[in-house]
Amino acid sequence: MVQKLKIGIVGGTGYTGVELLRILAQHPHAELAAITSRKEAGMPVAQMFPSLRRVCDLAFTEPDKSDLKGCDVVFFATPHGVAMAQARELVDAGTKIVDLAADFRLQDPAEFERWYKMPHACPDLLAEAVYGLPEMNRDAIRGARIVGNPGCYPTTMQLGFLPLVEAGVVDTTLLVADCKSGVSGAGRKAEISTLFAEASDNFAAYGLPGHRHHPEVTQGLARAATGPLNLVFTPHLTPMIRGIFSTLYASRVRDVDVQALFESRYAGEPFVDVMPAGSAPDTRSVRASNMLRIAVANPKDSRLVRVLVVMDNLVKGAAGQAVQNMNLMCGLPETAGLTAVPVLP
Amino acid sequence: MVQKLKIGIVGGTGYTGVELLRILAQHPHAELAAITSRKEAGMPVAQMFPSLRRVCDLAFTEPDKSDLKGCDVVFFATPHGVAMAQARELVDAGTKIVDLAADFRLQDPAEFERWYKMPHACPDLLAEAVYGLPEMNRDAIRGARIVGNPGCYPTTMQLGFLPLVEAGVVDTTLLVADCKSGVSGAGRKAEISTLFAEASDNFAAYGLPGHRHHPEVTQGLARAATGPLNLVFTPHLTPMIRGIFSTLYASRVRDVDVQALFESRYAGEPFVDVMPAGSAPDTRSVRASNMLRIAVANPKDSRLVRVLVVMDNLVKGAAGQAVQNMNLMCGLPETAGLTAVPVLP
Amino acid sequence: MVQKLKIGIVGGTGYTGVELLRILAQHPHAELAAITSRKEAGMPVAQMFPSLRRVCDLAFTEPDKSDLKGCDVVFFATPHGVAMAQARELVDAGTKIVDLAADFRLQDPAEFERWYKMPHACPDLLAEAVYGLPEMNRDAIRGARIVGNPGCYPTTMQLGFLPLVEAGVVDTTLLVADCKSGVSGAGRKAEISTLFAEASDNFAAYGLPGHRHHPEVTQGLARAATGPLNLVFTPHLTPMIRGIFSTLYASRVRDVDVQALFESRYAGEPFVDVMPAGSAPDTRSVRASNMLRIAVANPKDSRLVRVLVVMDNLVKGAAGQAVQNMNLMCGLPETAGLTAVPVLP
Amino acid sequence: MVQKLKIGIVGGTGYTGVELLRILAQHPHAELAAITSRKEAGMPVAQMFPSLRRVCDLAFTEPDKSDLKGCDVVFFATPHGVAMAQARELVDAGTKIVDLAADFRLQDPAEFERWYKMPHACPDLLAEAVYGLPEMNRDAIRGARIVGNPGCYPTTMQLGFLPLVEAGVVDTTLLVADCKSGVSGAGRKAEISTLFAEASDNFAAYGLPGHRHHPEVTQGLARAATGPLNLVFTPHLTPMIRGIFSTLYASRVRDVDVQALFESRYAGEPFVDVMPAGSAPDTRSVRASNMLRIAVANPKDSRLVRVLVVMDNLVKGAAGQAVQNMNLMCGLPETAGLTAVPVLP
């Protein structure tokens, strides 16, 4: 019998934390060894999240008192800035790191500082860290010690634009991403704007002056583009718990079969499903699963290409993709622990 | 032309505050003179609540700098404890007070202290204050200087049980109130438990060890009862913004036509609608209106009486009832400003 | 005292019908005389919609037995094709007509036939009918006998693009409208796709091959444009009852102060609110009201103009705009009966 | 390697059908062989339910052309009356049956006829059929050829009252079950009352004159009771997709430690979780899982016992319990395929 990986989670009280717990509890090759929370130290995990009764019998522990260095892999489900402070000690001890925050997403430390208002704590580790979008970086992830797990919106925007940009099919100076997110994307934080009585039966735009996910996407797409790149990104909040729906528009510069282009680009991908032509996707078709679905829906009589992407922001947009990265980093089957069927209705 | 009443609102940033603004802005005999908020002083009301653009051009002001004593009526839409601290000064100046918090609900100062963990600041004013449930206390309200506006749950429970208790039809030692509230009942406070991602697509019980609305109801019903009174009250949170649905059970001690009893008790009441026998009410039938609807639905072959009550917790359960009380206190038509038709769907 | 207008509603069992009832019941110059429904003839309106108890004591009547010709104004809240079949008889009798369906929206009968799969029954009346968007056609509406009330999406798209197109500021061959509608927009029809368990906690695109509102918008904008016009329109379904949020993109061809352009274009409009620069609108800010709000939110470093429009699809997008049209057609104050403050939360 | 069971599903287009597919697709010992739908014959299952893309490559087939007799187990996810018409042929062929409708729930054919308005087609098979509540009937289920899978509400009511009734702790003539169900409980049927725009942001009672689940519960509890039994059952509709929350009240006739009573009764049950004293359960703690959770929350100073039960109506209340029954009938581990962790948030 294969030995199970010992897993640590730093900051397990948010939505990505509890989603990691849900996924890892059902993972055939992983064993949860430690879950930390300064604030909730001592509280059994299943007391905070009764959904985990009979599933997880750990309690939250003080970060300092947890044997994270004894873990094979540590996930950081923490605010920005925490992972980079602890990364060196862990990698020196041979522990692999997947950071679900932004510390290892932007490769340029100056860019990081501009958007997150703090200097980067370990630019050298940032330099070796790999951006964890397997469909773009699979081989690099396999060899990585540190993976910066992509943001939720950026996963949909990059996977939706990538085939077009790589193939030079569209004008990269006029990309539009009109994105709609469920409210869990805002995290499990006490804030008025995401109260039920504020966010329910309501649809709102936000982050209009500029959203931190913007530079992450342009960094990813620019690599594939041959010329300059300009993206307009409009995030909206929609009254559902999970799910992102990104409607992408780009101006075609040459004529190709876009449906075939996407099917070919993602052939064999276990977690990207290119739907048949004519499909109108919905977010519930991926609810609670690691699958991301794409539909090409070019409008008639228009030079625009239109691509629709749906994803569960907490799974393929966070915890699921993190586990997919762990699988790659540790030589496990990429789909291990990630085959749950979407929950519908 | 009748001169308009000058109105002040203390603490206008919560849901009862904005609802008072919505109602008073459409009230034919009221004029908003001041709205205070220590925290938001200087901010235009319509900036915080864009729904009030072109409706309210006031800004929040510091409580100390607001001319509340120059108002005819001041509403307190504040946390418990605020109104009783300012009441004396205002009543001395001839200003009438409607408190939407609990300071003037429980007539026994000891009981107040037990549930709200603070001594009552002005027991003498408490003694003269009137509990503002017009269907029970209309005449007293007309003459009052201070009205304690009822809680949301208690309004439904009292109006639902009152005809039965007054008529001696049920065993008052075995009353059950199974109540379901929309999430706005928890107020506009940054708390995790009422986040959209927590409260949506979910149904929960809370307050099981004891809820502050319990003594308020027993106080009201005990006055009408001839013997001891025991109430079991179970509050639940249901994923909707507004509305309370209270399902009441009591054990019948003598046989009467309960439907007729309710119709007779509430005949002529402008804001209590006894629905025809066989009706199954829903909360949306009163959404955004001051109407409360009651259906009698006695189960077959049972000695239990079953009464269903629906109400908008922010209107008849808070701001609307407060304005109804103001109308009575100031000699205006009781329904002035309160005739808006429920919003459905 | 002014005599009240006698009003008839044909087909009052849908959402636009009940919304007309809600608005007209509170209208100072209107009196409901007849409401028809073949299927529900005989049923009291307030039995189907308990929200209207004590507000409306009419019962639905057979269309044939209703004295619609005795009405001053008749609203058609019916499926497409009904109004055009009855229009001639009514206008001949001197009754004015507001059709909330599509019979009098598209001015080209061939275009109507192409999208609605039926020949137009009265092309001559169509020729005299006025498209009821007051902000575009106010004077013509004042003199009209028949008004085709705009569709919900088209109201937002036209009012959002109009200032840009009129001023020649954008490339009219590349307009993008990414629109999100609440589920009531689909009507009160027994269909699986709009069941709560299908549409809740879900976000979906639909109508991708082409939506009937498309030609209506291009018809309206083409009048204002100097060159050819091409619009990409993507409708989505979002889990809320009421509200439309339209995010509009256009490519700038010359540099102007877009914020000032919008403020100037809509100065004095009673139901179009141009929000301050930097605003991020939400649909609840107009819930249950006839106000439409627009925010200009141009993305940085981009040649795109971005305009955000919010509206209640059942009010300014249907019944409210219909009453606004009635007010204009009948010489009443344009805002009569339409001043209710939005319901928030 | 163990041979997999061949499974047939009759009527797979409803919510219990698609939930069976979701669960069985992940079941280690089951293989879906046929899924029938007269109406959708020929359509690939994954076209109707895109959540099943890459999971289920079957198409719906005509019932007559499907080899149901070649299956080891057939589930009926059909309207009432279908299973009893086909049962004899299948059991004669050695196929086991789990009926998710009501044909084999009520053991008295006269009672069945009274509530379902049709004579029972096979009273002899009804006589041998076993009521599939494992916590009550585990041994009988193991030997059954036909199992009548319990209704959703009845599962919560029976498991919540059973320990009290068996132990003779409460007055069985005064049981109150105040139950709240998510909207998926109404099925995937085109009906106005369960449209999103009707059921969202709303809370309603229904079925007040009498609900078909009533006799099912009294049948189950009466077996355990020593005297007469009278239950008042109030079903309500709450705006969420999945989940039932049942609040149960009973009058205590003798004093016992109710918490201990429940813990002892359900010790070792894999799918009944008695929560610690003081817990306030919520439905999301069991979302998409087969777990049912019970909390005892006796009100202070009252002779009433109060029990709170939460369950996912589509899993433990339908498809999950059906698979649990299949596991028992076929000698598999009872929890096979049913260990998915609840999805929260």
Looking at residue D292, its amino acid is L
If asked whether residues B119 and B186 sit together in one domain, one would say no
If asked whether residues A302 and A212 sit together in one domain, one would say yes
Q: Which of B277, B272, B312, B314 is nearest to B293 (CA)?
A: B272
Q: Do B236 and D242 touch (CB under 8 A)?
A: no
Chain segment D105-145, per-residue pLDDT in tens: 999 999 999 999 999 999 999 999 999 999 999 999 999 99
Question: Which one of D71, D152, D179, D330 is the catalytic residue?
Answer: D152
Is there a catalytic annotation at residue D152? Answer: yes
Residues of B in Cβ contact (< 8 Å) with C293: 50, 53
Ranges under pLDDT 50 in chain B: 1
Q: Is C39 on the interface with D (CB under 8 A)?
A: no
- Render A97-131 in DSSP notation, one character per residue: EEESSSTTT-S-HHHHHHHHSS--S-HHHHHH-EE
Q: Which residues contact D82 (CB under 8 A, 6 or more apart)?
A: D10, D11, D76, D101, D103
Chains that touch C (3 or more CB pairs under 8 A): A, B, D
Residue A11 maps to a domain: yes
If asked whether residues C66 and C195 sit together in one domain, one would say no
Nearest residue, CB atoms, D201 vs list B234, B240, B299: B240
Nearest residue, CB atoms, D53 vs list A55, A273, A282: A273
User: What pLDDT does residue C2 have?
Assistant: 61
Phi, psi (5° rounding) for residue D135?
A: -70, -10
Q: Which of A208, A216, A213, A206 is nearest to A238 (CA)?
A: A206
pLDDT at A3 over 90: no
Pairwise CA distance, residues C4 & C24, whole Å = 11
Q: Is B204 on the interface with D (CB under 8 A)?
A: yes
Residue A119 maps to a domain: yes
H-helix or E-strand containing D110?
A: helix D109-116
Percentage of chain B with pLDDT > 70? 99
Q: Cis ω on the peptide bond leading into residue D345 (within 30° of 0)?
A: yes
- Mean pLDDT, all residues of chain D: 96
If asked whether residues B300 and B156 sit together in one domain, one would say yes
Q: Is D51 on the interface with A (CB under 8 A)?
A: yes
Residues of C in Cβ contact (< 8 Å) with A236: 180, 245, 247
Start-to-end Cα distance in chain D:
37
Pairwise CA distance, residues D97 & C233, whole Å = 50
Q: Is the pTM of this model over 0.95?
A: yes
Cβ atoms of B17 and B318 within 8 Å: the answer is no
pLDDT at A2 over 80: no
Q: Is B286 on the interface with C (CB under 8 A)?
A: yes
Pairwise CA distance, residues B213 & D268, whole Å = 39
Q: How many residues does chain B have?
A: 345
Question: In the predicted model, what is the mean pLDDT of residues C106-115?
Answer: 95
Q: In chain D, how many domains are there?
A: 2
Give A274's Cβ-side CA count (13 Å radius).
Answer: 19
Pairwise CA distance, residues C198 & D195, whole Å = 9
Q: Is D121 on the interface with A (CB under 8 A)?
A: no
Q: Domain holding D91: CATH number? A: 3.40.50.720
Question: How close D52 gets to chain B, by Cα (Å)?
Answer: 22
pLDDT at D1 over 80: no
If asked whether residues A74 and A182 sit together in one domain, one would say no
Residue B325 maps to a domain: no
Q: Is D184 on the interface with C (CB under 8 A)?
A: yes
Q: Which residues contact B94 (CB under 8 A, 6 or more apart)?
A: none
Q: Is A111 on the interface with B (CB under 8 A)?
A: no
Q: Do A201 and C287 touch (CB under 8 A)?
A: yes
Q: Do C344 and B22 touch (CB under 8 A)?
A: yes
Residues of D in Cβ contact (< 8 Å) with A282: 50
In Å, what is the CA distance from C252 to each residue of A120, C5, C167, C255, C299? 38, 47, 11, 7, 12
Q: Is C196 on the interface with D (CB under 8 A)?
A: yes
Q: How many CB atoms lie within 10 A of CB C143?
A: 10
Pairwise CA distance, residues B72 & C16, whole Å = 41
Residues of B in Cβ contact (< 8 Å) with D238: 180, 203, 238-239
Q: Is B171 on the interface with D (CB under 8 A)?
A: no
If asked whether residues C217 and C91 sit together in one domain, one would say no
Q: Which residues contact B266 (CB under 8 A, 6 or more apart)?
A: B135, B163, B272, B273, B274, B294
Residue C329 maps to a domain: no
Chain segment C129-186, per-residue pLDDT in tens: 999 999 999 999 999 999 999 999 999 999 999 999 999 999 999 999 999 999 999 9
What is the number of CB-based contacts under 8 A between chain C and chain D? Answer: 66
Pairwise CA distance, residues B221 & B159, whole Å = 9
Question: Which one of A71, A122, A152, A179 is the catalytic residue?
Answer: A152
pLDDT at D230 over 70: yes
Burial A245-266 (b: 16+ CB within 10 A, else e): bbbbbbbbeeeeebbebbbebb
Cβ atoms of D272 and D284 within 8 Å: the answer is no
Q: Is A240 on the interface with B (CB under 8 A)?
A: yes
**DSSP helix/strand/coil, C207:** coil
Q: Do A283 and C308 touch (CB under 8 A)?
A: no
If asked whether residues C30 and C179 sit together in one domain, one would say no
Q: How many CB atoms lie within 10 A of CB D301?
A: 7
- Mean pLDDT, all residues of chain C: 96
If asked whether residues A108 and A195 sit together in one domain, one would say no
User: What pLDDT does residue D110 have?
Assistant: 95
Nearest residue, CB atoms, C284 vs list B51, B279, B340: B51
Phi, psi (5° rounding) for residue D136?
A: -115, -35
Take residue A227 and report the two structure tokens written for it.
């010329």
For B247, name the nearest residue in chain D, comparing CA atoms only: D178
Residue B146 maps to a domain: no
Nearest residue, CB atoms, D176 vs list B238, B243, B249: B249
**DSSP helix/strand/coil, C41:** coil
β-bridge pairing B244-252 and B304-311: antiparallel
What is the number of CB-based contacts under 8 A between chain A and chain B? Answer: 66
If asked whether residues C200 and C288 sit together in one domain, one would say yes
Q: Do D22 and A50 touch (CB under 8 A)?
A: no
Nearest residue, CB atoms, D299 vs list B198, B232, B302: B232
Pairwise CA distance, residues C18 & C319, whole Å = 9
Residues of D in Cβ contact (< 8 Å) with A287: 51, 343
- Render A62-107 in DSSP notation, one character per residue: -GGGS-GGG-SEEEE-S-TTHHHHHHHHHHHTT-EEEESSSTTT-S
Q: Which of B210, B202, B291 is nearest to B244 (CA)?
A: B291
Summarize chain A as % helix, strand, coil (round to 5).
Answer: 35, 20, 45
Chains that touch A (3 or more CB pairs under 8 A): B, C, D
Q: Domain holding B164: CATH number? A: 3.30.360.10
Q: Cis ω on the peptide bond leading into residue B50 (within 30° of 0)?
A: no
Cβ atoms of B225 and B253 within 8 Å: the answer is no
Chain segment A93-125, per-residue pLDDT in tens: 999 999 999 999 999 999 999 999 999 999 999
Q: Do C196 and D201 touch (CB under 8 A)?
A: no
Residues of A in Cβ contact (< 8 Å) with B189: 192
Chains that touch D (3 or more CB pairs under 8 A): A, B, C
Q: Do A174 and C198 touch (CB under 8 A)?
A: no
Pairwise CA distance, residues B50 & C335, whole Å = 20
If asked whether residues D114 and D173 sit together in one domain, one would say no
pLDDT at A300 over 90: no
Chains that touch B (3 or more CB pairs under 8 A): A, C, D
Q: Is C278 on the interface with B (CB under 8 A)?
A: no
Take residue A297 and report the two structure tokens written for it.
């829906």
Residue C143 maps to a domain: no
* Unique residue bearing structure tokens 């069991």: D286
Q: Do C176 and A174 touch (CB under 8 A)?
A: no
Cβ atoms of A240 and D196 within 8 Å: the answer is no
Q: Is B135 on the interface with A (CB under 8 A)?
A: no
Helices (H), B35-108: 45-48, 82-92
Q: Do B196 and A200 touch (CB under 8 A)?
A: yes
Q: Is A171 on the interface with B (CB under 8 A)?
A: no
User: What pLDDT does residue B259 have?
Assistant: 98
For residue C317, what is the DSSP state? I
The residue segments making up the domain with residue C57 are 5-128
- Active site (catalytic) residues of C: 152
If asked whether residues C117 and C237 sit together in one domain, one would say no
Chain segment D155-207, per-residue pLDDT in tens: 999 999 999 999 999 999 999 999 999 999 999 999 999 999 999 999 999 99
Burial class (CB in 10 A: 0-12, 13-18, 19+), C207: middle
Identify which has the larger pLDDT, D36 or A211. Answer: D36
Question: Which one of B56, B152, B179, B330 is the catalytic residue?
Answer: B152
For D289, name the nearest residue in chain A, comparing CA atoms only: A51
Q: What is the CA radius of gyration of chain C?
A: 20
Q: Do B180 and D238 touch (CB under 8 A)?
A: yes
Residues of A in Cβ contact (< 8 Å) with D46: none
Task: Label residue A66 by pLDDT band (50, 70, 90).
Answer: confident
Q: Is C306 on the interface with A (CB under 8 A)?
A: yes
Q: Which residues contact C85 (CB under 8 A, 6 or more apart)?
A: C121
Q: Do A200 and B239 touch (CB under 8 A)?
A: yes
Residue B332 maps to a domain: no
Looking at residue A112, its amino acid is F
For residue D282, what is the DSSP state? B
Question: In the predicted model, what is the mean pLDDT of residues C237-252?
Answer: 98
Q: Which residues contact B268 (CB under 8 A, 6 or more apart)?
A: none
Nearest residue, CB atoms, D176 vs list B176, B208, B242: B176
If asked whether residues A123 and A63 sit together in one domain, one would say yes
Residue D139 maps to a domain: no
For B300, name the nearest residue in chain D, comparing CA atoms only: D209
Q: Do B297 and D238 touch (CB under 8 A)?
A: no
Q: Do D341 and A25 touch (CB under 8 A)?
A: yes
Take residue A317 and report the two structure tokens written for it.
């947009």
